[in-house]
Structure 1
Amino acid sequence: MAHATSIQYEPVAEIGGGAYGTVYKARDTESGQFVALKSVRVQTDQNGLPISTVREVALLKRLEQFDHPNVVRLMDVCATKRSDQETKVTLVFEHVDQDLKTYLERAPAPGLSPDRIKDLMRQLLCGLAFLHSNRVMHRDLKPENILVTSQGQVKLADFGLARIYSCHMALTPVVVTLWYRPPEVLLQTSYATPVDIWSTGCIFAEMFRRKPLFCGDSEVDQLGKILEVIGLPPEDEWPTDVTLSRKNFPSFMPRPIAEFVSEINEQGAQLLMNMLTFDPLKRISALNALEHPYFRDEETLTQTKR
């Protein structure tokens, strides 16, 4: 990891603040191109950086060698020692002007066409299948963390931060913004890559609706709103190691997803429900989702966009 090359990157504007710190748009003074700077403060031991952070950065750099078209590029990593106990690690990513949230807001009424949504979903799932095949969970997928270039190319962002932070935290329920959290995270039980598929399903619905599908104001309220749509799962699907009992919820019956996502076609609705499956073990994987009939008639636009 390079040390203290911050002079090379000149902050131009604050892009936004996440749960873990501020993100800046900056100019690379050597090449003149714009980049995105994201910093994390890492607790260190007497030997310098924790080995887990080094491992995670090495993983990100390894993923970078594949140069996947649907994953934002990590261009540089800088480390600055702040004290004996703390080091600031700055990740330098390629800069993309808009995220999916902005892209949806800017789309003229009545919103994105079904074919455009299909293309965005295919790209999103391609990026996710790549991460999952390399055993990387994103854990915070939402429209703000999905970038869309001016050419319409989708790039997953912030997955690297999710990995780096996770090394220094217990598996806490604060991962994944509330509206995109799957039941297993809301119930504070164990989770794996299916968390990202649930979030992707929520985003899929939002592309049609132009507003989030489940807008709870607490974990319990969020779970209630989910069960109102997908129905109360059978007793044997409810995790046993959780404090919130299945008995806390009414016996909701599943409702047709078309009631909530009216523009979606039959195959799209089927794929969406395969993503919004309560039991994570029964939830569709990113690779299998790409094989779904919903995508059959789609021209492979993704290959031409590189």
Structure 2
Amino acid sequence: MKSPCPRFLCCSWRVTSSGFPNVYRPKFISAELSTAASAGLICQGERGTRFRLVRPLGTPARDKASNVWLAIDESRPDAEYIIKLPPGDNNDSPWSNTALAALKHELEMQRLFAKDPMIRRLVDYVPESEPVGPMMVLEAFTDSLWDARNARPFTAKEIKWIMKGVLLGIYTVHMRGLVYTDLKMENVVLGGFDSSKPSENFRDLIVRLADCGSISKPSTREITSLTYRSPEVHFGKSWTSSTDVWSWGIILAQLFQAQVDFRSAGIYDSIQSKSLEEKRDTIRGQLAIDFDLSSLPFYAEDKQCARILPTPQPERAYMWANNMVEKGVPGNDIHFLVEVLPPDPNARLTVREILESGYLDG
């Protein structure tokens, strides 16, 4: 017999499930496909809708073509969508098998979570037989959480509402034994956000997880953007769903910081280095000091971790929390953050425990 639906899901946020047997597995015929997406290009989805590409979105990496586009329904120009292609080089060369496999995995995850309301909806799929196919057609939102964070400070109620929505999105993933692995502000989208002033009803804000491409089973491989990467990942240990809770806690900390010091970068976002490797090492070392990892057997008694742990500085442990209190973040919010962010993943709260704590309902 199935266990009853948790209390925190018996509401407008309610999460539903779709079964693994229904996962759509698209047929990718080859990698010999053009990557030359361009404005004005028209392609047809499996449902018969014709989509026109309008402009590329985001900032692609050097020598890479943008694989995310704004598109419109050709018969209804006011209906906007997001088109996502396999990542490709900045030329007309075929996509690599790796790029096609990445899109295939993301499409499978979108299909798997098709009935879960906290995941951005897959609207249609453009097959590889179409110009510049394959493509995913996704629901469009006005802002990412990153955009909104940089527009104005959130109210306390907005923060809790948004972070509850994010947590429910993660919970739908964890319910299937999977891990989101790339939780960051850029991968959370909002609808109904007013950049000029808080909404009269914060519950009007729509919150969705926007990228399913990194969802996977627990593992030991390197995951997550550096700023939001959990200590166990930084130090090469195995990770589970608790790594998502760490990333969630870092986002929450950054939103609290923006409330009291809007123009300053959030925790671990201010670290600048010449290379990605240098930034990784700098953040890893700072995190080890901030959370006093040398005092924890989980890290200190692991030979691999011990080799890269910096010299202990216990007097600096949790200074980040003290600094937030001094700037005006309420003590109860700091206390909650400390509970969410224990560096030992075995001591970390689960998503369900956070939701049932009632903190996000206050």
TM range (shorter): 0.7 to 0.9
**Residue segments in structure 2 that go unaligned for 5+ positions in a row:** 1-25, 34-41, 45-49, 88-94, 193-203, 259-264, 274-278
1:240 aligned to which of 302, 306, 315: 302
How has the CA–CA distance of structure 1 residues 248 and 208 changed in structure 2, closer, same or farther, with 3 Å as cutoff? closer
Partner of 1:95: 140
How has the CA–CA distance of structure 1 residues 232 and 172 changed in structure 2, closer, same or farther, with 3 Å as cutoff? closer
**Does the aligned pair in 2 maintain the 1:14–1:24 contact within 8 Å?**
yes
Partner of 2:84: 38
Q: Which amino acid aligns with 1:260?
A: M
**Does the aligned pair in 2 maintain the 1:267–1:294 contact within 8 Å?**
no
Larger Rg: 2
1:73 aligned to which of 117, 121, 131: 121
- Asked whether 1:156 is paired with 2:209, we answer yes
> What are the within-5 Å matches in structure 2 for residues 112-191 of structure 1?
112-150=154-192, 151-158=204-211, 160-163=212-215, 172-173=221-222, 175-191=223-239
Partner of 1:220: 281
**Residue segments in structure 1 that go unaligned for 5+ positions in a row:** 299-306
| Superposition TM-score, scaled by structure 1 size | 0.77
- Superposed CA deviations along residues 188-241 of structure 1, whole A, max 9, x for unmatched, are 222222221111111101112123211344222102222332223434211736
- Asked whether 1:279 is paired with 2:344, we answer yes
What is the CA-CA distance between 1:258 and the residue it aligns to?
4.1
**Does the aligned pair in 1 maintain the 2:110–2:122 contact within 8 Å?**
yes
How has the CA–CA distance of structure 1 residues 58 and 206 changed in structure 2, closer, same or farther, with 3 Å as cutoff? same
Matched position secondary structure for 1:260 = helix
Instruction: Count matched residues.
Output: 278
Whole-Å Cα distance in 2 between the matches of residues 206 and 101 of structure 1? 10
**Does the aligned pair in 2 maintain the 1:268–1:294 contact within 8 Å?**
no
Matched position secondary structure for 2:67 = strand
Identity %: 21
Partner of 2:257: 209
Q: Which amino acid aligns with 1:156?
A: L
1:6 aligned to which of 36, 43, 65: 43
**Does the aligned pair in 2 maintain the 1:208–1:263 contact within 8 Å?**
no
Whole-Å Cα distance in 2 between the matches of residues 295 and 73 of structure 1? 25
CA RMSD of aligned residues (A): 3.3
| Superposition TM-score, scaled by structure 2 size | 0.66
Q: Which amino acid aligns with 1:102?
A: D
What is the CA-CA distance between 1:288 and the residue it aligns to?
1.1
Whole-Å Cα distance in 1 between the matches of residues 323 and 285 of structure 2? 17
1:269 aligned to which of 334, 341, 349: 334
Whole-Å Cα distance in 2 between the matches of residues 205 and 280 of structure 1? 18
